[in-house]
């Protein structure tokens, strides 16, 4: 039997505008400007037999043009290849990018191809991606982040939390890390008092503290029964996270800013976290993410992937202990489908693959597109 091969790779650059500027602690401390849009690179693959798959990567702030340009460079290397050879193709694309390392923009461009290949494989099997990979559950607990950013008065944060819970979302996350530590503590305490003891609350400092400041904050809020404190120190400070994780009652979470499984493995090896937060589009896609899953599970570390619930819901469903998935509605306009929320959980789609179809609006927001094809 003649094997199927990839004949077309469509690569698109999409700029998704946000409804309002978004600010976290990095803006409050002057390190970044408010975020007004999200840059995405979409890859759509088609084979000689007509099978299709779609994947994407994203960039917050600078780097989107570089990600798209690198994806265009990689596209010719999948033409003529068997789409079932996913690890082989990941390695092939990584070797093309060897001089710019297996991290950062290089692997983030690969992620769009890798995810498209997995989406195609699951579609061919008429299974959701979660079922293809081997899922433990059909629904995953979720918490909302978009309602707790800076620039939002605490009264509005509380109202946003109420709306999230009314939608069936289980927990909420609020941003901290502003220069005034007392104001952070005041806001967190107000949210806990508003929601009561039973609603899970996560706190995210976005790397804005040194170790001593993080310790002071952690000790001040240890009695508030927080689910975790996220990124209290620099993303690459594995030792600092481990030091805090060993000394605070509140669990520590981090990992979203790391762009390779090698860096995430250091968090596991150092016991730096109670919750590890890998981001599949940032570390190279489904393939490296699924390599990390058993390592974290074996170490007794819990899973809470960062952003992109549209992909991470499927991957989190394969984790042996109950994970968390972050709810953001930001990417919803890009797709025709919606993820169901019920009883505090995101319901894993039963549609084949990722279960996603690009919307007409996504096509409207496309600022660049190219097709690479072969025979």
The three state secondary structure string of 84-119 is: CCHHHHHHHHHHHCHHHCCCHHHHHHHHHHHHHHHH
**φ, ψ for residue 157 (rounded to 5)?**
-60, -45
Closest among 96, 92, 120, 116 to 42, alpha carbons compared: 116
Q: Is residue 70 annotated as part of the catalytic site, yes or no? A: no
CA contacts within 13 A on the Cβ side of 348: 25
Helix (H/G/I), strand (E/B), else coil: 252: strand
**φ, ψ for residue 244 (rounded to 5)?**
-70, -40
| Catalytic residue (one of 121, 175, 241, 314) | 175
∠ CA 118-119-125, nearest 5°, is 90
φ/ψ bin of 206: left (φ > 0), alpha (ψ from -120 to 50), beta (otherwise): left
Q: Is residue 92 annotated as part of the catalytic site, yes or no? A: no
CA-only gyration radius of the chain, Å: 20
Q: Is residue 305 a contact partner of residue 279, using CB atoms and an 8 Å limit? A: yes
| Catalytic residue (one of 70, 131, 238, 306) | 306
Q: What's the rounded Cα separation, in Å, for the pair 232 and 160?
A: 24
**φ, ψ for residue 192 (rounded to 5)?**
-60, -45
Q: Is residue 374 a contact partner of residue 46, using CB atoms and an 8 Å limit? A: no
Please give the positions annotated as active site.
Answer: 175, 306
């Amino acid at each position: 039997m003649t094997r199927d091969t990839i004949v077309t790779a469509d690569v698109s650059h999409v700029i998704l505008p946000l409804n309002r500027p978004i600010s976290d602690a990095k803006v409050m401390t002057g390190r970044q400007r408010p975020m007004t849009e999200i840059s995405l690179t979409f890859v759509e693959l088609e084979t000689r037999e007509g099978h299709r798959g779609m994947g994407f990567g994203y960039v917050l702030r600078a780097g989107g043009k570089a990600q798209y340009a690198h994806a265009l460079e990689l596209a010719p290397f999948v033409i003529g290849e068997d789409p079932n050879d996913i690890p082989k193709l990941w390695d092939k694309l990584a070797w093309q990018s060897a001089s710019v390392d297996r991290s950062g923009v290089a692997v983030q461009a690969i992620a769009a191809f890798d995810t498209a290949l997995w989406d195609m494989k699951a579609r061919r099997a008429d299974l959701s991606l979660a079922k293809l990979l081997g899922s433990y559950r059909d629904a995953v607990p979720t918490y909302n982040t978009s309602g707790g950013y800076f620039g939002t008065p605490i009264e509005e944060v509380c109202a946003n939390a109420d709306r999230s819970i009314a939608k069936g979302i289980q927990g909420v996350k609020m941003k901290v890390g502003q220069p005034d530590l007392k104001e952070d503590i005041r806001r967190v305490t107000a949210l806990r008092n508003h929601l009561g003891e039973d609603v899970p609350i996560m706190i995210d400092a976005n790397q804005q503290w040194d170790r001593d400041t993080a310790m002071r904050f952690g000790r001040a809020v240890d009695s508030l029964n927080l689910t975790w404190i996220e990124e209290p120190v620099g993303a690459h400070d594995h030792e600092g996270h481990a030091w805090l994780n060993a000394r605070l009652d509140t669990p520590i979470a981090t990992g979203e800013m790391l762009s390779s499984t090698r860096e995430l493995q250091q968090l596991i090896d150092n016991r730096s976290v109670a919750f590890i937060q890998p981001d599949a589009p940032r570390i190279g896609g489904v393939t490296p993410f699924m390599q990390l899953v058993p390592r974290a599970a074996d170490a007794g570390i819990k899973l809470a992937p960062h952003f992109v619930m549209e992909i991470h819901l499927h991957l989190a469903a394969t984790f042996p202990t109950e994970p968390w998935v972050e709810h953001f509605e930001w990417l919803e306009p890009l797709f025709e489908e919606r993820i169901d929320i019920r009883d505090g959980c995101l319901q894993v789609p039963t549609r084949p693959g990722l279960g996603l179809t690009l919307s007409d609006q996504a096509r409207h927001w496309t600022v660049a597109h190219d097709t690479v094809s072969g025979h």
